Structure 1
């Protein structure tokens, strides 16, 4: 039979119609002068209304197919022990139980280590290394049945010695979980010996739980052959894809990972979701039924990693004016039982141990210690906050020693420029975009710091029960993944024949507004209203080999990739328009929802339809890789960061010296986001980051008992800041004059992590209030978090 119809066209052509005329997506030709939602304008989060009305769909809202099973983890009740006997008979016999998974049921490799070190088993084999480590998973007809059955396991242990904190780990000679790093410039020992004044100290910096609103969850659906689809709340779909394939023993192309949105991540869902994705996929393929796993908050907090605790031993040499001559520092971190991301986290702590200050001679060492606790992981700032606060402690020590305002000491030690040679970091990158002095100077004036500090001193001189403190602290934060290969991104852009636009990129939306910003970038480039652009869920099916949405790089990377895709299609449309209307390409201009072609104005949607009829390709894959960066870890030299983001905060506190309780009276912030893609979203990020950073340093305390059991494992025992804890006066401004000197997306700067460290101003203000007890002659050496108990103990020490 012939494949041609009577018209000579392929059979069936005569039944087809031309594409429908485009919906009137565009305003009438020449009618509008500006698009809605371009870059550098305020635009609400694309899911904001859904969030506040409860219509936003999360992983747990996906409609479950008939026959969906539920998995739950069985966790260890020892910090370090051999498993002598594992009796799961009662678990298997429990009502509703379909089966149990252990290490013996893993068809591939029993490991979800993100670094490939094979040190993070899905299920413990022969030995457990922290209290809360997964030993098995029970799969049942309901979540409640699985949860109840998981408690019925009988496990016999032979206890082994355990170590819980980084200093004890060093004292016990515990190994590193990953190779340490040394940063060195000059001869610190010799410069320290020559310095007129020297101070040594130790600083304990606590960890932090992510406490996202949405906990960990994965929902796996089996497909034919080796295929499995996993819906998950993860910041790193590609890594989850690889880990599931690794555990199942299949190729990555058999695994699809989908992420529509997360109810918060903060780094806690960069690697920690691998475990849950793997367990759900294992069960789904084993029983050929959809499987969901969602732990209780208590088990979530016990079994997943947190911000690294640090013990920092520092020494600083300085002159009479408080100018630093030399710094040495040893940064020991509680890493947990496996490597996870502890290598890059402890590296970044060293990268930021200078903050905004120049150290003429410096020697810094990391000590990523193995401990019998859950393996710690990424958290907003990724080790940077622990380094920055160590730098601020050093400044504080100098200020109290010399009887100076700490702000003056900060100013005297700021990075300089190439002319004075004071612009080289401990890792030998030059600081070429230093605007910290200007940020600080402007905030000092707008916050009326001088007059307020004088008022604080006068208040404290009266000797009352309530003491006040004030501090102004800066932030300099490097932007880029230190794993250079992560600094790449892809995007997929389709324009349909009606002029509507479909955008997909490799970043994940966790509430930070990434999708909104990327849509604004495309809207600006194509000059269409942002309403015409639909961003769909992140999926490994559309954009492969994505990097984690982390390191504050989401907008930088994915925005540029999407821009690349938009420009490819725009170039094709421009060439088509020039040919179709017989004019030069220079005469084709995209303007508000229209295209000016010579002297004629054509609605964007009309041009797209014409292009489709002319068989112009209306889809493009965009790509971007960050230029200029390089890093040689062995030598501790390179340019790991593309640029720096800056900020400053001034906070004032009141402290009750009888109880140690305090409140934040006022905070003023000036933060640098370059030319903001979306000022209102960026401002929200600054506000939220500050509060979260303040929580890390004041109320959020992790505590393990002597058996190695995390006791702060729920909101009832772990205190994040409440609405009532926010500063009574809270002024936040963006540095509107700033523009990134590097060619970032529309000259913007990252905003996710840098403002987190603005919370240090609260910690320093508390220290200032406490120091008033001894007439500011002694550095209080508060440890973090500065809970009311710690504040009170510091007050009592100074009274002795």
Structure 2
């Protein structure tokens, strides 16, 4: 019997097509339905959260009498009202839904109000009378490191013989850096609507990247079986990791209020409350101690990354692991030790964010590349190229995974040429020699990003496909759509597998009663996992239809094929065909099931944490970016004037979607490294809690020259149609902007001084770097 798994569809209608986003018309017309747009049942109540105003201490008195008496208030939820689990931590304990005693961060939820209107609920929470015994919060990550205040044990990687190699190194450099965090700033804030159903059941509409986790946690706080809870998620208005673990709390609060009141409840956080109560990208404190030769070739490296995790572990164990996995970025480190620490501070628990720790880990080695180049008098690009992973003997990571199919040398060479790097470098050097105030900078930085969840069991997915008798198809899968085009790609994958027009396929809301036990849509794995599961389901149905036609038409199954919406076969040396709709009807009449589930699990991956060895990633995605900046050395202000990107996407499933992801990821990364600054005061109160105090990039920040190209080469691994993940890797291309700013400041010393520049590289920090460089020049100091 023929197995259709490896059969390539003959139609080209959906293959590698730059098809528009499946919801684009609805987005433009304002017709796309988000959780807050769902028509609420009659009698729906609205929730608001009362939270701590201090960062550390104890509640000594809690008086909610005025809250309960406030206009429109129907009920109030406190911690003692929770019948089931109180701790809703994603992995490790430490995240109570509500508290009545210990306070660990400003913004910690204490109670929830349900009122007849949203305004009434928000007004009511302000009437709470709470007395605290305030304590001094721990807010500094370096202090936490010194005191060994950790949320999880530290982890270490080692390969080679660092001590011996360092002793023999020609040159040695040491440095430290602070890498700032980042607010997710999704357009749609945290929101959940919970509707009571029969038999203790509830229907939960949640803006979440992880419906199965919301299902689990809602069931656990209610103390009911998981099968009583159904989570529905059609689309999010952005997630970026901020709705992977931290969307669950608001659904749990709403569900508990439903249990108390018997009425539907919606909880939607105002922007300032959202920014105060939810975690951000982890700030990091990194150090390196590196030995190298006169050509800048690294001989030994000791790297430390310390994540500021906030008050609890959340996902920090895996996030700091990934920072460690990417502390090498694209470079071979022959003798290396890497330490990763998970520091506890009295802030909100930091969480997943695009790149999941990888960007913070890459920053320290990219700083080292610039520093080494200044020390040996080379262009940073030459030093980067010399240290790239290479052939046998230079192809093993610090965690002992072999770097196979390394595209970066060729990709970088292609970008060098297309961006005219060396001519621009000569022009910029000449410009900087004659321009006293304005200095230009240029940098080319690469990205090698591992694709897979580092927690092995998350690397699985399911899908459900129904073929109806009119030939229309409905697809459901475990991934969530947050604007990244996942549903669009999966429609195209199924269309390609069945040789159909994508317009004949509909994606429905992600629901836990259709595809159970799903993994979060994160780690750039949404298409890899769910797309392959959907493809497998489609191929099962294709096989069934082929077998039915072969049996009832008396033809060989090898002659049955799907082409451009038709099913064709050879019958007694005659070419016969029917439309796909007719084939579906034919199969139904002959009692063939037209519904199938598909499943996929990522092969080859493993990691022995005790030995710090393994293959945590199925493959690596690659890319490189050239960024050019101009800096006003009197004020520290700057502009990004040109960006050239060449990014590896394998065989692109949808070039339009992929280009959009690359552009958006780069700009978001640029914001992280330049303008987006998280600020807490000395009491641990977040002061950057709105768009007036927190600056994400605007359209005017887009560089005038912004050239993005795809390095299209089939993925050597067996991914869905040999594509590669594209969600997270482009984010780290923006490191080239930070490196270019350092390059511009370094030009003040004729590139002999490599300035320290923590991120975000705000104009104030750039000006500090300018002044420090000039001070070094006056003192006659260089590296």
* Interval of TM-score (by shorter of Structure 1 and Structure 2): over 0.9
Which residue in 2 is equivalent to 1:11? none
Whether contact under 8 Å (1:342, 1:368) holds in the other structure is: yes
Q: Compare 425-434 and 183-192 and name the one that shifted more.
A: 183-192
Whether contact under 8 Å (2:287, 2:364) holds in the other structure is: no
Please state if 1:200 is matched with 2:190: no
Which residue in 2 is equivalent to 1:187? 161
Q: Secondary structure at the match of 1:758?
A: helix
Q: Deviations over 1:644-697 (max 9, x none)?
A: 000000010000111111001100000000000001100000000000000000
Aligned equivalent of 2:461, options 489, 492, 507 = 489
Gaps of 5+ in 2: 1-8, 776-783
Separation (CA, whole Å) in 1 of partners of 2:166 and 2:65: 64
Aligned equivalent of 1:783, options 738, 749, 758 = 758
Aligned equivalent of 1:792, options 753, 763, 767 = 767
Q: Compare 205-214 and 594-603 and name the one that shifted more.
A: 594-603
Q: Secondary structure at the match of 1:180?
A: strand
Please state if 1:506 is matched with 2:481: no
Which residue in 1 is equivalent to 2:625? 649
Aligned equivalent of 1:471, options 425, 437, 443 = 443
Instruction: Map residues 166-245 of structure 1 onto 2, 5 A cutoff.
Output: 166-174=141-149, 176-245=150-219
Q: Offset of 1:774 from its aligned partner?
A: 1.6
Which residue in 2 is equivalent to 1:86? 62
Separation (CA, whole Å) in 2 of partners of 1:521 and 1:309: 38
Q: Offset of 1:184 from its aligned partner?
A: 0.7
Q: Secondary structure at the match of 2:75?
A: strand
Gaps of 5+ in 1: 1-31
Q: Deviations over 1:303-353 (max 9, x none)?
A: 000000000011110000000001111111110111100000000000000
Separation (CA, whole Å) in 1 of partners of 2:199 and 2:692: 46
Which residue in 2 is equivalent to 1:697? 673
Separation (CA, whole Å) in 1 of partners of 2:543 and 2:240: 38
Q: Deviations over 1:556-594 (max 9, x none)?
A: 000100011001110010001111211000010100000
Please state if 1:665 is matched with 2:641: yes
Aligned equivalent of 1:382, options 356, 372, 388 = 356
Which residue in 1 is equivalent to 2:29? 53
Q: Offset of 1:601 from its aligned partner?
A: 1.6
Aligned equivalent of 1:250, options 210, 224, 230 = 224
Separation (CA, whole Å) in 1 of partners of 2:636 and 2:277: 33
Instruction: Map residues 7-86 of structure 1 onto 2, 5 A cutoff.
Output: 34=11, 36=13, 38-86=14-62
Whether contact under 8 Å (1:306, 1:377) holds in the other structure is: yes
Whether contact under 8 Å (1:214, 1:264) holds in the other structure is: yes
Q: Compare 619-628 and 387-396 and name the one that shifted more.
A: 387-396
Whether contact under 8 Å (1:235, 1:549) holds in the other structure is: yes
Q: Secondary structure at the match of 1:552?
A: coil
Q: Offset of 1:171 from its aligned partner?
A: 2.7
Which residue in 2 is equivalent to 1:568? 540
Whether contact under 8 Å (1:507, 1:538) holds in the other structure is: yes
Q: Return the TM-score normalized by structure 2.
A: 0.97
Aligned equivalent of 2:650, options 668, 674, 686 = 674
Separation (CA, whole Å) in 1 of partners of 2:142 and 2:18: 48
Which residue in 1 is equivalent to 2:259? 285
Whether contact under 8 Å (2:10, 2:499) holds in the other structure is: no
Separation (CA, whole Å) in 2 of partners of 1:33 and 1:224: 48
Whether contact under 8 Å (2:148, 2:343) holds in the other structure is: no
Q: Secondary structure at the match of 1:179?
A: strand
Which residue in 2 is equivalent to 1:417? 391
Aligned equivalent of 1:319, options 289, 293, 298 = 293
Q: Deviations over 1:612-645 (max 9, x none)?
A: 1111110000000000000111111100000000
Please state if 1:294 is matched with 2:265: no
Q: Offset of 1:170 from its aligned partner?
A: 1.7
Please state if 1:353 is matched with 2:327: yes
Please state if 1:621 is matched with 2:597: yes
Q: Offset of 1:179 from its aligned partner?
A: 2.2
Whether contact under 8 Å (1:124, 1:134) holds in the other structure is: yes
Separation (CA, whole Å) in 1 of partners of 2:167 and 2:213: 48
Which residue in 2 is equivalent to 1:22? none
> What RMSD, in angstroms, separates the aligned Cα atoms of the two structures?
1.0
Please state if 1:557 is matched with 2:529: yes
Which residue in 2 is equivalent to 1:118? 93
Q: Offset of 1:118 from its aligned partner?
A: 2.4
Q: Offset of 1:393 from its aligned partner?
A: 0.6
- Residues 504, 289 of structure 1: CA spacing in aligned structure 2 closer, same or farther, 3 A cutoff? same
Separation (CA, whole Å) in 2 of partners of 1:501 and 1:730: 39
Aligned equivalent of 2:316, options 320, 342, 346 = 342
Separation (CA, whole Å) in 2 of partners of 1:495 and 1:686: 34
Separation (CA, whole Å) in 1 of partners of 2:129 and 2:15: 59
Whether contact under 8 Å (1:660, 1:791) holds in the other structure is: yes
Instruction: Map residues 265-284 of structure 1 onto 2, 5 A cutoff.
Output: 265-284=239-258
Q: Offset of 1:33 from its aligned partner?
A: 8.6
Aligned equivalent of 2:737, options 762, 780, 795 = 762
Separation (CA, whole Å) in 2 of partners of 1:636 and 1:102: 43
Q: Deviations over 1:417-436 (max 9, x none)?
A: 22xx1100000000012111
Separation (CA, whole Å) in 2 of partners of 1:384 and 1:118: 24
Aligned equivalent of 1:142, options 83, 102, 117 = 117
Which residue in 2 is equivalent to 1:163? 138
Q: Secondary structure at the match of 1:785?
A: coil
Q: Deviations over 1:185-242 (max 9, x none)?
A: 0121221122111111111000000000000000001112221111010000001111
Q: Offset of 1:35 from its aligned partner?
A: 5.8
Q: Secondary structure at the match of 2:243?
A: coil
Aligned equivalent of 1:748, options 701, 707, 723 = 723
Q: Offset of 1:91 from its aligned partner?
A: 0.6
Q: Compare 184-193 and 283-292 and name the one that shifted more.
A: 184-193
Whether contact under 8 Å (2:10, 2:562) holds in the other structure is: no
Q: Secondary structure at the match of 1:677?
A: coil
Please state if 1:686 is matched with 2:662: yes
Q: Offset of 1:34 from its aligned partner?
A: 4.3
Q: Deviations over 1:728-761 (max 9, x none)?
A: 100000012x110000000000000000000011
Whether contact under 8 Å (1:228, 1:285) holds in the other structure is: no
- Residues 88, 507 of structure 1: CA spacing in aligned structure 2 closer, same or farther, 3 A cutoff? same
Separation (CA, whole Å) in 2 of partners of 1:335 and 1:253: 33
Separation (CA, whole Å) in 2 of partners of 1:172 and 1:576: 69
Please state if 1:591 is matched with 2:563: yes
Separation (CA, whole Å) in 1 of partners of 2:227 and 2:292: 58
Separation (CA, whole Å) in 2 of partners of 1:146 and 1:407: 57
Please state if 1:722 is matched with 2:698: yes
Whether contact under 8 Å (1:74, 1:136) holds in the other structure is: yes
Aligned equivalent of 1:154, options 94, 114, 129 = 129
Which residue in 2 is equivalent to 1:536? 508
Q: Secondary structure at the match of 1:696?
A: helix
Q: Segments of 4+ in structure 1 off by > 2 A? A: 32-36
Q: Secondary structure at the match of 2:300?
A: strand
Instruction: Map residues 356-375 of structure 1 onto 2, 5 A cutoff.
Output: 356-375=330-349
Which residue in 2 is equivalent to 1:9? none
